[in-house]
Amino acid sequence: MTRAAAPTGTVDVAIIGAGPVGLFLAARLAEDGREVAVFERRNGPSGRTRAIGVHPPGLEAIARIDLADALRGDGLEVRQGTAWSARSGRPPRVLGRVDFASALPDPYRFVLTVPQPATEAHLEARLRRSAPEALHRGVRVVDWTVRPGADGEGGVELRTTGPGAPSEATARLLVACDGAASDVPARLGVLVRETPTGDAYLMADLAANDGPVAPDEDGASIVLHPRGVVEAFPLPGGRRRWVVGTDGRPAEADPELLARRIRERTGEVVDPGTATHPSSFEIRLRSTDRFGAGPVWLAGDAAHVVAPIGGQGMTLGWLGAETLAREAGAWLDGRRPLHEALRRYERAHRPRVRSATARAAWNVRVGRATRFPWLRDRFVRAWLAGGGADRLARTFAMRR
Ligand SMILES: Cc1cc2nc3c(=O)[nH]c(=O)nc-3n(C[C@H](O)[C@H](O)[C@H](O)COP(=O)(O)OP(=O)(O)OC[C@H]3O[C@@H](n4cnc5c(N)ncnc54)[C@H](O)[C@@H]3O)c2cc1C
């Protein structure tokens, strides 16, 4: 295939949003020698930490832009997990353990925890190294228009606002990495399914304690209680992320309430005064039936949102971005028509989204409030003892 030259000033790929997926995609494309522009409405990093877990496939993706070691340097390697049964008024009992170190292949025999701001800082620094001018902070994309042309040749024109907004921005391909509230799918006429699951959680990062269900520095704990799950994940710097199921009802993002629920369900005493990033969220799944149309494509949460229980959304976004970068490159180089490149991106990435959605749905289901806790305990204990532990380790680590 041959392609007409792009108009002067046109970048290969413009990206809306400098979240972890937009930054990763930009760094990945820049690494391939593509000219990229990333527009982010926020002036600086958000500082909000949602994603803490980086799974082995995510580490492999990040290794391809030479960031795996830097991320490991800032993170904590979670090598084991324990499932507990708890009832109010009695100490929790171990149902079984999973051992990532023995169940996973080299080189990443663990799930890394790193606060999202640290991950984003590394990605941004990496992008600035290979494309110092690519990131435009404080610039909101307010509109875009696909110009006429066969096989996407006309490109996309963007309208932006903000202090550093360029007077004109055009790109051969536009990728929306603008998160779960993206309106790009709707504008493209792509079908978006939003599914509330009726599950709600309270979450915060707290100073680590050494109580019964969170004893190991490198261990995660899942506590099954009749009123709902309690989860504890170690973080670097002597902290721990706690997540508590709120019995289907959204609760106020109140560290005192979180600490009370943790104590009621596990006996663990945590200090709410040390809480950072308290939040309360309901799970809403989002999926799109296409990952783009013409020269406008979708990636990360703009394309798919899986339940954060099990925390796989960011890794999933990176894996999609890898595939997208490869297929976009094939089109940009004239090796494939646009519709074929998009179809190949969808075909390669859709199965990952399905698996991650199913895994996350399972995680949510197992932790729900139940009137039959003894039945669930019996099932989980038997399953973990009967060879399920290694499978669970691989499933949780996105290795199946
Ligand atoms: C409670 C919680 C815990 C989670 N834990 C994990 C975990 O442990 N591991 C994991 O892998 N995933 C986890 N996730 C999921 C993960 O946070 C998301 O999948 C990930 O942040 C998606 O990244 P993104 O770049 O696609 O979108 P976002 O992070 O939402 O970034 C979108 C960016 O686009 C910008 N933007 C939006 N509109 C515009 C515009 N018009 N112009 C310019 N900029 C714009 C926004 O300001 C934002 O910076 C968790 C999610 C939640 C809610």
- 113-127, 285-299, 359-373: least confident range: 359-373
Q: Averaged over 30-46, what is the pLDDT?
A: 94
Residue with the smallest CA separation from ligand 1 atom 27 is 179
Report whether pLDDT(210) > 80. Answer: no
Share of the chain above pLDDT 70, in %: 98
Calpha distance 215→209 (Å, rounded):
8
Which pLDDT value is given to residue 288? 95
Residue 361: per-residue pLDDT: 87
The model's pTM: 0.95
* Mean pLDDT to the nearest integer, 31-39: 96
Which residue has the CA at smallest separation from atom 42 of ligand 1?
140
Pocket of ligand 1, candidates 201, 301, 318: which has the most ligand atoms within 8 Å of its Cβ, to mutate?
Answer: 301
Mean pLDDT of the residues in the chain:
92
Rounded Cα–Cα distance for residues 353 and 307 (Å): 11
Collapsing DSSP states into helix, strand and coil, what is residue 325?
Answer: helix
Is the pLDDT higher at 3 or at 103?
A: 103
Of the listed ranges 34-38, 178-182, 273-277, 282-286, the least confidently predicted one is: 282-286
Q: In the structure, what pLDDT confidence band is assigned to residue 109 with cuts at 50, 70 and 90?
A: very high
Q: Give, using CA atoms, the residue closest to atom 2 of ligand 1.
A: 50
- Report, as an integer, the average pLDDT of 236-258: 89
The mean pLDDT of 272-294, rounded to a whole number, is 93
With a Cβ cut-off of 6 Å, ligand 1 is lined by: 16-22, 39-42, 50-53, 140-141, 177-179, 203, 281, 300-301, 308, 311-315, 317
Cα–ligand 1 centroid distance for 50 (angstroms): 8
List, for residues 58-101, the tens digit of each pLDDT value: 999 999 999 999 999 999 999 999 999 999 888 899 999 999 99
Q: Which ligand 1 atom is the nearest neighbour of the CA of 55?
A: 11
Find the 384 Cα to ligand 1 centroid distance in Å. Answer: 33
pLDDT digits (tens, 9 = 90+) for 216-235: 778 999 999 999 999 999 99
**What pLDDT is recorded for position 1?**
55
- For residue 5, pLDDT over 70 is answered with no
The pLDDT assigned to 16 comes to: 98
Residue 381 Cα to ligand 1 middle (Å): 35
What is the spatial distance between Cα 176 and Cα 295, in angstroms, rounded to a whole number? 11
Centroid of ligand 1 to alpha carbon of 39 (angstroms)? 15
* Domains assigned to the chain: 10-67+116-191+289-360 (3.50.50.60), 78-113+196-284+370-396 (3.30.9.30)
Q: Which residues contact 64 (CB under 8 A, 6 or more apart)?
A: 28, 31, 322
Indicate whether 249 pLDDT > 60.
yes
Nearest CA to ligand 1 atom 37: 178
When pLDDT is averaged across residues 189-213 and rounded to a whole number, the result is 89
List pLDDT tens digits, range 323-367: 999 999 999 999 999 999 999 999 999 999 999 999 888 889 999
Of 123, 71, 48, the closest CA to residue 317 belongs to 123
Name the closest-CA residue to atom 31, ligand 1.
Answer: 19
Residues 247-269: what's their mean pLDDT? Answer: 89
pLDDT at 71: 97
- Do 121 and 46 contact (CB within 8 A), yes or no? no
Q: Quick one: pLDDT at residue 42?
A: 96
Ligand 1 pocket test: which of 15, 28, 39, 41 has the largest number of ligand atoms within 8 Å of its C-beta? Answer: 41
CA of residue 5 to ligand 1 center, whole Å: 34
Q: Are 156 and 173 in contact (CB under 8 A)?
A: yes
In whole angstroms, how far apart are CA 289 and each of 78, 166, 184, 190, 306? 35, 33, 13, 6, 15
Distance 260 CA to ligand 1 centre (A): 29
Tell me what the mean pLDDT of segment 8-32 comes to: 94
Among 43-47, 119-123, 284-288, the minimum mean pLDDT is found in 43-47
pLDDT above 60 (res 139) = yes
Average pLDDT rounded to a whole number, residues 106-122: 96
197: pLDDT confidence band, cut at 50, 70 and 90? confident
Report pLDDT for 284. Answer: 86
pLDDT at 183 over 90: yes
Provide the percentage of residues in the chain whose pLDDT is more than 90: 81
What pLDDT, on the 0 to 100 scale, is given for residue 4? 44
For residue 34, is pLDDT > 50? yes
Q: Compute the distance from residue 174 Cα to the ligand 1 centre, in Å.
A: 18
Instruction: Find the 301 Cα to ligand 1 centroid distance in Å.
Output: 6
Say which range, 62-71, 160-169, 210-219, 236-245, has the weakest mean pLDDT. Answer: 210-219
The 10 Å CB-count burial string (b at 16+, else e) for 265-294 is: bbbbebebebbebbebbebebbbbebbbbb
